Chain A
Amino acid sequence: MSRRYLIPALALALAACDASDGDEGADFVGDAGLCVDDDGCPEGAVCFDGRCVFQGAGGPGDGPAEPGDDPDPAPPEVEEELAPAIRPAAGRSVVWVAAPETDRVAAIDGAALTVRVIEVGDAPTAVATRAGTDVAVVLCRGSDEVIVVDPAGDGVESHRLPGHFNALDVGPGGRFAYAWFDLGDLRPGEDASAVQDAVVLDLDDGRQHPVTIGFGPRALRFAADGTALFVTDDGVSIIRPAQLDGPAVAPTVPTVPDIFSLADREVALSADGRYAASRGPGEAGITVVDLFEGVPRFVDLGAEPTDLDLLPPDPDRGHRALVMLREARRLALVPLDGVGEVRFVELGDRPLGSAAVSPTGDRAVLYATRPDHPPAAALLALPGGAVIDVPLRKRARVGAIDPAGGVAWILHGPESPEVPIEPPPELPEDAGLEDAALDPPAEDAGVDDAGVDDAGPEDAAMPDAGLDAGPPAEPDAGPPIATRIVVDPDLAGRHGYSLVDLDTGFVKLQTTAAEPYGLTFAPGAAFVAFPRVGGVGPALQRIDLVRFDSRSWLLGSAPEALGVLPAVDRAFVTQDHPTGRISFVPLDADGRVRTLTGYALDGRIE
């Protein structure tokens, strides 16, 4: 599963509040249920978390026929969202945008639509805000300093860094800023000497604490108590900033026993910073590490995991990981603290390989991303473990669940309609399988006909009599068994997304002219942006997660990055424009988009 889409999902997962529906604990018992188990539901319905959800005549388990196992276990890479070169940082009511070419940052007030441009050091590239404030912390890549700017005041506070860094994050408390070097953002000729260094800057008193971390940090995550966790190739480097006093080496906890297999791993960290789980290619299980203990522990799951997510901690069941085992057609709920058993949930024939977990921890969306499989998705009710099918019309690429846990958003992409959706007909028992392989079955004869001959299968088999095949195939094999879900050829080539109601399993497919990206959740809504496609201009779309409708605003230029300013009830989107362009829309659907263009020129007002 792609990292880039994982990040927002993971961030949501880790930032989710701890509250989860209190479950009685016993399986298959819902809170206000219409049913207790499947027997309490009419035929064709499944008792899904206390409610009966119709699943069809076949019932669960009668999935689509398999054309055969695909030897490639890993799902293909999902396209990442466009990562703009300069990401804006959202404060409370101010959006900070760095303008490296003018050595300035612009503070754009979302309510008043005014711009204040402040000169900082050379080439500011990364901006972050202190939590709960509009104060920005800017990393100036050209002059190796961190500058703290307050939009109200006039002064800028400059802190010169001991080395060259290219990434900056601010901890959840807003007190500490972390400068580190992201190898993935390395520019040609750039000074990469700080590849294992990080600097923790105490924004309150200005002290800097250089910390040595593992090699090649890929991401920086924060636990709820402010602990910084660097995901590196050596493992997870743990920094407790409040305890720092001068230079230090961060304890790095390996996430696998084999230190040479640390690359190419997917690592998931729990919200409280206690546990880390990871999976790697070729391993038939996950590795769990208690970061306090530091000893990785392999949990054998019998099949190679295709996706790994951490569930929010449950008061009864503790920390658990949800591991998708596509080849085994099941998923595993693995307790991270070693207490309790691994619990498997069978998925029947569903070839589901990816999962997205609700931040509330009571739902997960399971979906298949492989291009040669028909669209498939299911909902998992936790802690019950009931699974119901969700009728996706197009193949899922990636999914995310909104912070309130009610709706899943699934991205689709254009696909070729030539996906073989009709499985070969069932062959009679006595037909030699090898012969059938040499001799093309009657299905091919139908293809040769091209509508001219309507000779029956037996006639078509005649020209093949030259081959020394076995007895001719049995006529009247019957029409091919259609799969339950058919991809409409007209819809196949379109972009779009689906909204899945996590309670009822209702799905709404929304096709779009262009690929949506930049998914950002806001209370009750989600925002995506569309680039320009053909005659349809770039747009920002607000998706109402309650009513499942959407509203679009046309933008003037290609959108780059989205964000939300909750304090002024606005969402913003920065756009690609030579002099800078940002648009603000109200969080509710009423209102017009307000656009400010040329804020880079504001830096040239002198």
Chain B
Amino acid sequence: MTRALRASAALALWAALCALACDRPPGFDRPLDAAEPLVLDRHVVWPLVGQPALFTLDPATMATRFDPLPARPVLSAVSPDRGGLLVLDDRPALSWFRVDAAGPEAVFEAELTGRYGRIAFAPDQRRAVLFHGGGSAGAVLQNPNQVAIVDLEAGRVVERTLRSFGDVPRAIVVSAEAAIAGSPRQLAWALSDRYLALFDLAAPEAEEVIVHLTLAGDTRSVAPTEVTLAEAGDGLAAFVRASGADDIFALGFTDGQPGVVPRPYLNQLPAGQRPSDFAVVEVEAGPRVFAVEPALPGVSVIEPTTAGRVAVTSDLPVSEILPFEAPREDGSTGHFALLWQTGAAGVVFADLDALEEHRGRALTPLVIGGALTHVRPIPGRRAAVARSGPSRVVMLDFDARTATPLDADSPIQSLIVAPEGDAIFLHTELGSLAALATDTLIASTVPLTDAPADVERLLHVPGARRLVAVLYDEAHGRVVVSPDAELSPEALRRRDGLFLDGVFDR
């Protein structure tokens, strides 16, 4: 009897212990809430906001990783080299990850005092700027002029408030590190309506310099939209284009001390009427600003030192410029540009070296037929891909000045250009995936899904040489992974419930 009693008592005790010890990890009770996937060089990362965690997929090996995060991620951004991931969570704090072959590895974390909605990386991804950008929320009291300058290498964050003159920074542009006014600096420009704030990421505590673009009593809305740093005359100058202004503002730097943001001097370069785009190119005759004027339509060639302007009219409407270099017959490198406008019937090739002298003769129009949209350059090649109509892709060859149309069987949902420029990927409304080699214009295709409307987005992971089609999913993630060359149904890998991969290990 005692034995039985002892046995049952042991059983009861053990059952009680089990009941106490069996605490389910709280993450399982929360939804996944996968945010938009981020494409890194070899991985695709989904921030799982509900968990919080990062879910990483290596499409080459189909290996997955689940990395819990310390707090709910609010904003994530990929660095320009696609090797780093900056995550802002709602503590508020930021975490910086470097992504290697295994997946994201946390480098450092830093507490923040403000909540930010946008991230601007420096081109060399050594620094980043966080700003409000109208996107963040969640605090009782917001300071929309607060920015955080993050030194990603040193792991340091400096938060400051920029002086405001009636607006908040709408965008921040970070230029490459360069020697300006005597010492190496990395300038960042905070663009607001009617003024811009210039500060130096290399000296984050130095006071910013505010450059007003209008006089005090002027109430026009002149919002800077584009900033380019280029060599002009003596030293680097920044060129600013603003909507609502007829001029391109050239900001030159004379001298400055290290640790202090240099004060620029301003020269308004007349650029015709409301230029919509511009490029600064060093042509044979020297640096020139090429401003596209839709009102002409045409392009103005402006010499930054003398502010002399030559207006050249084009036959086709233009509003964007895409500069490129190509060899000439005599072997030298010439500077050219593609001028185009969304909805125009053609594009214009411009010989930038000769534009100032020969004017209209340096422009060659190319009528494509059909309204043109989405002209995108193909890197590494003197070519561009454009869309003309819902199911037509046009390959523009700059050397031969030709336009080759390619028709798809159904409207094209998305189009991606590989970063090497060797292929173009697209998927159509009928659910087919196509990979087009840009050199040979030979395409390989594969039907992706039975239900074509399922494809939400197409991603290209260049380091893994894979295409990842993300399908609509309400629960646990659905993808179809394909190699990005020689598409075939056998090579497709489909995962339904992708985020459950390894769920038993969490």
Interface positions of A (Cβ within 8 A of B): 101-102, 112-116, 556, 578-579, 581, 583, 592-602, 604-606
Contacts and interface: CB of A to CB of B under 8 A. Distances in A.
Contacts of B374: none
B215 interface: yes
B24 to A, nearest CB: 59
A32 to B, nearest CB: 46
Nearest to B252: A114
A115 B249 CA distance: 14
B211 interface: yes
Interface stretch (B128-136, B259-267, B320-328): B259-267
Interface stretch (B301-309, B404-412, B417-425): B301-309
Contact of B308 (A581, A595, A604): A595
B21 interface: no
A598 B305 contact: no
Contacts of B216: 101-102, 604
Contact of B307 (A112, A578, A597, A599): A597
A113 B306 CA distance: 9
A112 B303 CA distance: 15
Nearest to A116: B265
B332 to A, nearest CB: 25
B232 to A, nearest CB: 11
Contact of A593 (B213, B217, B263, B308): B308
B247 A605 contact: no
B500 interface: no
A595 B306 contact: yes
Contact of A594 (B218, B263, B307): B307
B210 A598 contact: no
A598 B267 CA distance: 6
B275 interface: no
B209 interface: yes
B211 to A, nearest CB: 5
B306 A605 contact: no
Contacts of A595: 306-308
Contacts of B476: none
A596 B306 CA distance: 7
Contacts of B211: 601, 604-605
B383 interface: no
B270 interface: yes
B269 interface: yes
Contacts of B215: 101-102, 578-579, 600-601, 604
B265, B269, B307: most-surrounded residue (chain A CB, <10 A):
B265
Contact of A605 (B209, B254, B268, B269): B209
Contacts of B392: none
Interface of B: 209-218, 234, 247, 249, 252, 254, 263-270, 303, 305-309
- For the complex of A and B, the 3 pairs showing the least CB-CB separation, nearest first, are A595-B307, A598-B268, A604-B212
A598 B263 contact: no
Nearest to A601: B266
A579 B220 CA distance: 14
A385 to B, nearest CB: 50
Contacts of A594: 305-307
Contact of B270 (A116, A597, A600): A597
B267 A596 contact: yes
Contacts of A113: 267, 305
Contacts of A583: 307
A579, A602, A605: most-surrounded residue (chain B CB, <10 A):
A605
Contacts of A101: 215-217
13 contacts: A113-B305, A115-B265, A115-B267, A579-B268, A592-B306, A595-B306, A598-B249, A601-B266, A604-B211, A605-B209, A605-B211, A605-B264, A606-B210
Contacts of A601: 211-215, 266, 268
Secondary structure of the A contact surface, majority rule = mixed
A113 to B, nearest CB: 7
A490 B221 CA distance: 49
Nearest to B267: A596
Given A593-B306, A595-B306, A597-B270, 11 more contacts: A114-B265, A115-B265, A583-B307, A597-B307, A598-B267, A598-B268, A601-B211, A601-B268, A605-B263, A605-B265, A606-B210
Given A114-B254, A598-B247, A600-B215, A605 B266 contact: yes
A102 B214 CA distance: 12
Contact of B266 (A115, A593, A606): A115
Contact of B212 (A115, A593, A599, A605): A605
A116 B263 CA distance: 10
Nearest to B213: A601
B204 to A, nearest CB: 19
Contacts of B217: 101
B268 A606 contact: no
A596 B254 CA distance: 15
Contacts of B218: 578
Contacts of B210: 605-606
A597 B306 contact: no
A600 B305 CA distance: 18
A58 B259 CA distance: 83
Contacts of A579: 215, 268
Nearest to B270: A556
Nearest to A578: B215
A593 B309 CA distance: 11
B479 to A, nearest CB: 51
B218, B254, B266: most-surrounded residue (chain A CB, <10 A):
B266
B365 to A, nearest CB: 27
B181 to A, nearest CB: 12
Contacts of A593: 306, 308
A295 B130 CA distance: 82
Contacts of A606: 209-210, 212
A592 B308 contact: yes
B80 to A, nearest CB: 30
A115 B215 CA distance: 16
Nearest to A556: B270
A583 to B, nearest CB: 8
A115 B254 CA distance: 10
A578 B214 CA distance: 9
A318 B305 CA distance: 51
A594 B309 CA distance: 11
A602 B212 CA distance: 8
A414 to B, nearest CB: 31
A583 B213 CA distance: 20
A331 B148 CA distance: 82
A102 B213 CA distance: 14
A593 B308 CA distance: 7
Contacts of B307: 556, 583, 594-597
A599 B266 CA distance: 7
A102 B217 CA distance: 10
Nearest to B247: A597
B320 to A, nearest CB: 25
A101 B215 CA distance: 9
Contacts of A114: 252, 254, 265
